[in-house]
Structures are given as structure tokens and as C-alpha cells.
Amino acid sequence: MSLTSSAATEPDYDVLVVGAGFAGMYALIDARRRGLRVVCIDAAPQVGGVWQWNRYPGARCDIESLDYSYSFDDELQQDWTWTERYATQPEILRYAEHVVHRYELREHIRLNQRVAKAVFDAEAAVWQVEVDGGADVRAQHLVLATGSLSTPVRPNIPGLDEFTGEILMTAAWPHEGFDVTGLEVGVIGTGSSGIQAIPILAKSAKSLTVFQRSANYSVPVKNRDLSPEQMDEARRDYPRRRSIARTSMAGTLAQAHPSSFWDLDEAERRAAFEARWAEGGVLFGKVFDGQTVDRGINDAAREFAIEKIHALVDDPEVAAALTPDHAIGTKRICTDSDYYETFNRQHVSLVDLRKNPIVEIRPDGIKTQDGLHRLDVLVLATGFDALTGAIAAIHLEGPDGVLASDVWADGPLTNLGIAIPGLPNLHVIMGPQSPGVFSNAFIASELQVDWVMDLIVHCRENRIRTVETTREAAQDWSDKVQKLAAGTLFPETESWYLGANIEGKPRVFMLYAGGLHPYSLECAGVRDAGYAGFELADA
């Protein structure tokens, strides 16, 4: 497939949205509402982004369903019924399909097609986009809604390709499912995906061996059904709920304890931790203000969580191996149903790879230093090239041959996490240097998409052909992102927030840690100042 030559013809579309996950679907809806000619392209066979791929057993959201859903249209939220406090992956996917149907998106989405390359034709002020598996596209604006956790990592372990059993990736689970009944199963990876899948796999596997490199903190999710009465009540409460979410730090109702940790005595602190633990879920990471900033508070939360692990796991040696050594919350806290209890089952064992590393994978199992662990099935829950992986997979070339890969050679450089210097008319949603995965992805992406569509409409109304961040403004934003992170405990932990899980990836903290609402004020400030820090060139 070749790119069409630079001809001063009309672009096919005003906007090309790459990615039909929830951010991309909203970009499509919003662009259409504003009368823009728009198309959305996704490599997957179905909409839903990460929820389309991650079909492993036990997959569910870790933000409450009532929050983890679109807020832009009250009729949509009145019309939809969530059946559980934390929706399962199939229910989230049904919601995605419902949205497609409700807003008549189908004919505007091209599935099973991959955007491989986009080159900006400066003369025509148009992105020429090469699409694998479909016709090329010329669009004035390119919106990358390619996902924060959408490029799975297959670990580089000697012998992996020689394994003759079944290899399953949590991030590419077979659509038809996979029955592990009576099989010897191994799981590599104990992040959110592994921790959600392990208890379910253990229910039917003949044996389950968990190969753990780093222990993680996990809090019981305390999932429950939502009754019709609760759902009715929630529908009435949506306006309040959404308005709190939009002015919150993470796009949810989560509130830290009203008192400062340091003003409370030991018993009061313990009661606060206990109450949040009983409530369940990721919000244990925010029991007190400053919990990921102040080492004293973090240590107290950490010690409480470790105590819980030891209370849940019968064998003290296994409990010790399951005890993490990083500051709590500096990797995303996982949520589970019976994760720790699963290690009390006779047929479940834990291999601590720090003490007993993998030597190689053999055709019939994993050989660690202490011997062979025979396996029929190997589950890889080994994470993603987060935040930048999906963007890096596209050849993005601005005027004068400027490559996104060069601009980001030392780590992401953006203005507001949205614009990249040297690449005009390109807008990133939920990318690096935005609040991204630190916040509710629905609220955060609605906010960013609204901002981007305002900008695109502003360009149209003012006959502006190109809009591009200045390098100085991008540098200022990146400095701000780094400074905010430096004031927290996050950078001290080897995590995918820093790119530490990918060999050779620049070690730079990649998220805006200042909170969703302050971020929205930053975005509004730039817009209200006539897009300060951006160069807008007219026809």
C-alpha cells in the first residue's frame, strides 16, 4: 500500500480517530455532534479497545461501574443498567455495543484495519494515512485514541517458543474462552490481570503454579450485585455523582479521610484503614491525603495491608513471599476476589522468582533453579508497553521529516499530554503526560476529547489550517509533569508508569500527577488564553 502523493485536494475527512475503545468512540460521537466529517479506524474485530482484547477469566473494572461509564449524555446513563458494582468484561463490552447502536456509530467505524503510518502533507495541511487492510485516508486532524494499555508484552524468556502446551496471553485471550479443567496451569505475572485471573483459573485447574517476580498489593474488591432499586437510586443520583467526579482528583467519588493522618491517634488511623479496606477496591491507595507523597503515611498504609496479607495466607513463608516491598500505591493497587486465599489451596503453589529464577522454558514446562514445573498451559499476564507503546507502533511523520519517535527519543514530550511538537493537527487522548490511567478513563477522555474538538472547531471557524504546540510550551509542560512526580513517592518504584518494564525504554515518569480537576483547569486556561503555547496558522 502506498501513500497518495501530495495533491491540494480536499481531505476525505476533517478528523480521523485511531482506536475504537471508549475514548475513540466518544471522539467519534463528539465530532459527529459538531458536524465534522469523521471516521474511526481500529485493528480489532470489535469496538471496546482494551475490553475487547482482555477477555481473561475474572476481568472486570476496578472503578465502580456507575462511575466507569460515559457521563456526556444523561439519557444514556438513564437508559443503561449495570448489574454489578464492578462490571465484568462481557458487560462492559455489551455497554460498548449499546453505545455504538444508540449513536449509530457502526457505519463510521472501520474495524480489522490498522493505521500503520501517517505523514503530514504540509502543503495541503492534511495527514496522509496508510491503513493496513483498508483504503488509505486523508484527514485534516488525527486523533490518537490508541489506548494506554493496548500493546501487550510477550516476555523474552529463553525457550518460550519451544513450549508445546497452550500459551495464553491475558491481553489476547481466545474469544471462545479456554477451559483449564483438569490441566496443569502456570501463570507468569502478578499485576491486576494475573491477580484477577488466578483465583478463577484455580477453581478448575488440576494444579496452578504462580511465577511471581514482584509481589503486588491487592485489596478485596467486595463486588456485589446492583439491585434494580439500587440502580434506580443511582440513576436519580447521577447529576450529583458526575459533578463530583468532574471536580475530583481522579474522576470518581473517592474522598480521602476528612482529617489529616497526623492529627489522628493510632486507633483512629487504624479505624480509617479498616473502614476503607472493608469498603474494598483500589481506593485503599487514597485513605489519607498525601498517602503517595508522605513516607510516614505510606508506611502506615503499607503495614496495614501487609498485616492483612499475613492474616489471609495460612503459610507464613508464602505470606512473606506475597509481601510487596514497594511503597503502596506507587504501582496501581490491584483488586481481587479471594486472591490471597487461593494460595491456601493444596493444588496452588507460588514460585518466588527472585529467589528461584526461571532458567528456561522447556517444551513441557518451566525450569526454575530448583527444577522443572510441568505445565499443560502457560498464562502470560505480563503487562503492556504502557502509554507510549501504541503510539510508537505508528510511523508518525510531521513536516520536514520530523518523526514522533525522534521527538520522544528521551521520553514523551507533549503539551497537556495532547499535542506533540513538530506534529501539527495531531491530538493524543489518554496519552503520556495526561492524568490518563491515574483517573477514571471515561471522565478523563471526555474532558480531553471535548477540549480537542473545541480546538478543531475553533480552527474551522477561524480558517486555521494547522495548529501545533510550540516546543517551549511542550518543554514547560513536561517539566511540570516531572516536577509534580518528583514531589511524590512514585518515581522510586520500578513500574510501567516509568517505562521500567520495557528494556531500553527511557526511564521517565509518564503521568500528570497533579489530579484530574487541576488538569482540566490547565486545559481550560490554555483554551481561554486563545490557545496559548500553540501556533495557529491560517489559510
Asked if 466 is part of the footprint of ligand NA7 (rule: CB under 6 A), the reply reads no
Q: Which stretch binds ligand NA7 (CB under 6 A): 18-26, 149-157, 226-234, 507-515?
A: 149-157
Q: Which is nearer to ligand NA7, 398 or 436 (CB)?
A: 436
Q: What DSSP character marks residue 290? A: T
**What are the residue ranges of helices labelled H in 187-294?**
192-204, 228-246, 266-279
Span from 188-196, 259-267, 297-305, 396-404 in contact with ligand NA7 (CB under 6 A) = 188-196
Scanning residues 300 to 319, which ones bind ligand NA7 (CB under 6 A)? none
CB 72 within 8 A of CB 26: yes
Between 241 and 332, CB nearer to ligand NA7: 332
Residues numbered 486 to 525 that lie near ligand NA7 (CB under 6 A) are: 496, 501
Q: For ligand NA7, which is the closer residue by CB, 61 or 144? A: 61
Work out how close the CB of 350 gets to ligand NA7 at its nearest, in angstroms, rounded to a whole number.
13
CA dihedral 416, 399, 502, 360 (to 10 degrees): 160
Site residues for ligand NA7, window 319-378 (CB under 6 A)? 332, 353
Cα 192 from Cα 425, distance rounded (Å): 35
The sign of the dihedral angle between the CA atoms of 436, 438, 442, 446 is negative
Helix (H, G, I), strand (E, B) or coil at 464: strand
Stretch that binds ligand NA7, among 5-13, 379-387, 421-429, 519-527 (CB under 6 A): 379-387
Give me the least distance between CB of 170 and ligand NA7, in Å please: 6
Q: Which of 149, 309, 351, 452 binds ligand NA7 (CB under 6 A)?
A: 149
Q: Minimum CB separation from ligand NA7 for residue 193, in Å?
A: 3
Smallest distance from ligand NA7 to CB 156, Å: 7
**Shortest gap between Cβ of 242 and ligand NA7 (angstroms)?**
22
The residue count for binding ligand NA7 (CB under 6 A) is: 20
510 φψ region: left (φ > 0), alpha (ψ -120 to 50), beta (else):
alpha
CB of 474 to ligand NA7, least distance (A): 26
Q: Which is nearer to ligand NA7, 89 or 448 (CB)?
A: 89
Considering only the stretches 100-108, 117-125, 187-195, 233-241, report the one whose residues sit in contact with ligand NA7 under the rule CB under 6 A: 187-195
At its nearest, how many Å lie between ligand NA7 and the CB of residue 443? Answer: 15
> Least distance to ligand NA7 from the beta carbon of 166, Å?
18
Q: Is 51 helix (H, G, I), strand (E, B) or coil?
A: helix
Q: Which stretch binds ligand NA7 (CB under 6 A): 3-11, 15-23, 121-129, 185-193?
A: 185-193
Stretch that binds ligand NA7, among 183-191, 241-249, 340-348, 401-409 (CB under 6 A): 183-191
- The angle formed by the CA atoms of residues 427, 14 and 474, to the nearest 5 degrees, is 20
Q: Name the residue nearer to ligand NA7 (CB basis): 16 or 188.
A: 188
CA dist., res. 251 & res. 242, Å (int)? 8
In the structure, how many helices (H) and strands (E) does the chain have? 15, 20
Tell me whether residue 337 or residue 501 sits nearer to ligand NA7 (CB atom).
501
Contact present, 248 and 286 (Cβ < 8 Å): no
Question: Looking at the chain, how many residues does it have?
Answer: 539
- Residue 469 belongs to what H/E stretch? strand 464-469
Task: Please classify residue 111 by burial: count the beta carbons closer than 10 Å to its beta carbon, then call 0-12 exposed, 13-18 middle and 19+ buried.
Answer: middle
Q: Which is nearer to ligand NA7, 215 or 396 (CB)?
A: 215
Query: For residue 496, which amino acid is it?
Result: W
Q: Which of residues 253-292 bind ligand NA7 (CB under 6 A)?
A: none
Which pairing describes strands 207-212 and 184-188: parallel, antiparallel, or unpaired? parallel
Q: Which is nearer to ligand NA7, 191 or 251 (CB)?
A: 191
Give all strands (DSSP E) within 70-136, no chain letters. Answer: 109-110, 114-121, 126-132
User: Closest distance between ligand NA7 and the C-beta of residue 495, in Å?
Assistant: 7
Helix (H) or strand (E) holding 368: strand 365-368
Distance CA 429, CA 441 (A): 10
Given the complex with ligand NA7, which of 370 and 472 has the nearer CB atom?
370
**Which one of 21, 48, 191, 281 is in contact with ligand NA7 (CB under 6 A)?**
191
CA atoms within 13 A on the CB side of 67: 23
What does the per-residue mask of binding to ligand NA7 show for 193-212, with x meaning CB under 6 A?
Answer: xx------------------
Distances 263 to 259, 275, 295, 487 between C-alpha atoms, Å: 7, 18, 16, 22
Sole binder of ligand NA7 in the list 382, 433, 434, 466 (CB under 6 A): 382
Identify which of 416, 435, 443 has the alpha carbon closest to the alpha carbon of residue 526.
416
Interaction residues for ligand NA7, span 155-174 (CB under 6 A): 155, 157
Q: Is 189 in the site for ligand NA7 (CB under 6 A)?
A: yes
Residue 538, phi then psi, degrees to nearest 5 = -90, 175
Residue closest to 469 by CA, chosen among 432, 526, 421, 425: 421
* Min dist. Cβ of residue 334 to ligand NA7 (A): 7
Residue 534 sits at φ, ψ, to 5 deg, of -120, 145
Strands (E), 191-315: 207-212, 218-220
Residues 210-239 binding ligand NA7 (CB under 6 A) are: 213-214
**What gap in Å lies between CA 479 and CA 496, rounded to an integer?**
20
Q: Is 190 in the site for ligand NA7 (CB under 6 A)?
A: yes
Binding site for ligand NA7 (CB under 6 A): 149, 155, 157, 188-194, 213-214, 332, 353, 381-383, 437, 496, 501
